[in-house]
Amino acid sequence: MKALILGYGSIGKRHCEVLEALPQIDEICLVTNQDVVGKICYKSLEEVSNLDKFDYFVIATPTFLHLQNLKFLDEKVKDKIILCEKPLFEKFYDFTPKNNKIFVGYVLRFHPLLQKLKELLKNEKIFYINASCGQYLPSWRNGDYTKCYSASKEKGGGVLLDLSHELDYTMWLCGKFKSIKSFQDKVSNLQITSDDLCLIFGKTDNNVVANISIDYLSHMTHRNVRVECEASTYELNFIKGTLIKQDINRQIFNMPNLERNEMFLAMHKDVLGEQKYVCGFSEGQDTMGTIDQIQRQNNE
């Protein structure tokens, strides 16, 4: 298989590194302004004269370019596999691909403990889910945080889009939102034009009450989810790598030393294989629909 990666920032480099480890990928080319040793590089998609030779496309450009990239590819090639980094877009667009199979890179779905939690919840009546993620932006992004895309509302940055993993896996575990209330704003003195705090409260179509908080503010990095069920309580701490199931007994599942690229490798294998866990295009659009609701609630 031949792969074309669009964008060669930190996430594009990671995708390239992971794809190089897959035996079924025999050639990787890049769309980037950089000169990368050992790789054929194109300055733009328009420069790629033989697009049809590629079987797999990975879109790792800034979020605000995703729609343009997807439209171009869906018009120029057919029956290909396209993985677009999350979130799909910087805002909701009424776009439906006609010619290719498109997936969205919500890589947290490939955390072994989140997959274990999903499996355990199949036999539970879920009442409530509480998901939380926070990290101080200047210590999260390498270099000058004010120049990264996260800091720029115009480029599709901001905590709601950046940390939309929490929305995706909440809906993956508990169903789509049927009602939602939210608060989204920039509340700190960070030198950014994007939002740094978002609080979401709602109910899913499976009648699960959901509470999500995400921020760029916390000096104590955290990412965890608690699920209250009729028979059990579950708590997953992504940072520590622990999943606790508490009922009459207490079970602890550990995954403390997850390798840097392990989830990305599992995601690419799934996209090119069974497509069991990966976020499909319609699911990615459902998440964008929820993001759109939140953006409209807070811009009125």
Give which of 181, 178, 258 is closest to 223, Cα–Cα.
258
Same domain, 71 and 170: no
Q: Is residue 69 part of a domain?
A: yes
Q: Is 3 helix (H, G, I), strand (E, B) or coil?
A: strand
CA 41 to CA 64: how far, in whole Å?
Answer: 22
Q: With a cut of 90, say whether residue 107 has pLDDT above it.
A: yes
**Within-domain flag for 63:** yes
Same domain, residue pair 115 and 95: no
Contact criterion met (CB below 8 Å) for 70 and 60: no
- 232 and 97 share a domain? no
Q: Do residue 157 and residue 79 come from a single domain?
A: no
Domain CATH code at residue 231: 3.30.360.10
Q: Are residues 93 and 115 in the same domain?
A: no
Determine the average pLDDT of the residues in 102-126: 98
Residue 133: pLDDT over 70: yes
Residue 290 lies in a domain: no
Q: In whole angstroms, what is the distance from residue 239 CA to residue 243 CA? A: 11
Residue 244 domain flag: yes
211 contacts 128 by C-beta, under 8 angstroms: yes
The residue assigned the tokens 């104590």 is 220
Q: Are 85 and 59 in contact (CB under 8 A)?
A: yes
In this prediction the pTM is 0.95
Q: Are residues 125 and 222 in the same domain?
A: yes
- How much of the chain exceeds pLDDT 90, in percent? 93
The CATH number given to whatever domain includes residue 89 is 3.40.50.720
**Counting beta carbons within 10 angstroms of the beta carbon of residue 63, is it exposed (0 to 12), middle (13 to 18) or buried (19 or more)?**
buried
Question: Alpha helices, DSSP H only, in 152-276?
Answer: 159-162, 165-174, 262-271
- Asked whether residue 277 is domain-assigned, the answer is no
Residue 291 within a domain: no
pLDDT interval class at 252 (50, 70, 90): very high
Q: What is the mean pLDDT of residues 228-244?
A: 97
Tokens linked to 23: 């035996």
Would you say residue 288 lies in a domain? no
- Together in a domain, 129 and 11: no
Q: Is the per-residue pLDDT at 300 higher than 80?
A: no
Which domain does 223 fall in, by range? 111-257
Determine the pLDDT at residue 119: 98
Pair 140, 39 in one domain: no
For residue 199, how many other CB atoms are within 10 A of its CB? 15
Predicted local distance difference test score (pLDDT) of residue 141: 83
How confident is the model at residue 142, as a pLDDT? 78
Whether residues 79 and 145 share a domain: the answer is: no
Whether 238 shows a pLDDT value over 90: the answer reads yes
**Nearest Cα to Cα of residue 68 among 6, 139, 148, 157:** 6
State the pLDDT at residue 30: 98
From residue 63, give the alpha-carbon distance in Å to each of 76, 88, 104, 178, 273. 21, 7, 12, 26, 26
Residues 16 and 94 in one domain: yes
State how many domains the chain has.
Answer: 2
51-60, 64-73, 150-159, 164-173: least confident range? 150-159
Three-class DSSP category at 249: coil
Domain boundary among 104, 134, 154: 104
> What's the one-letter identity of residue 179?
S
Same domain, 118 and 85: no
Q: Are residues 96 and 133 in the same domain?
A: no
Does any domain span residue 189?
yes
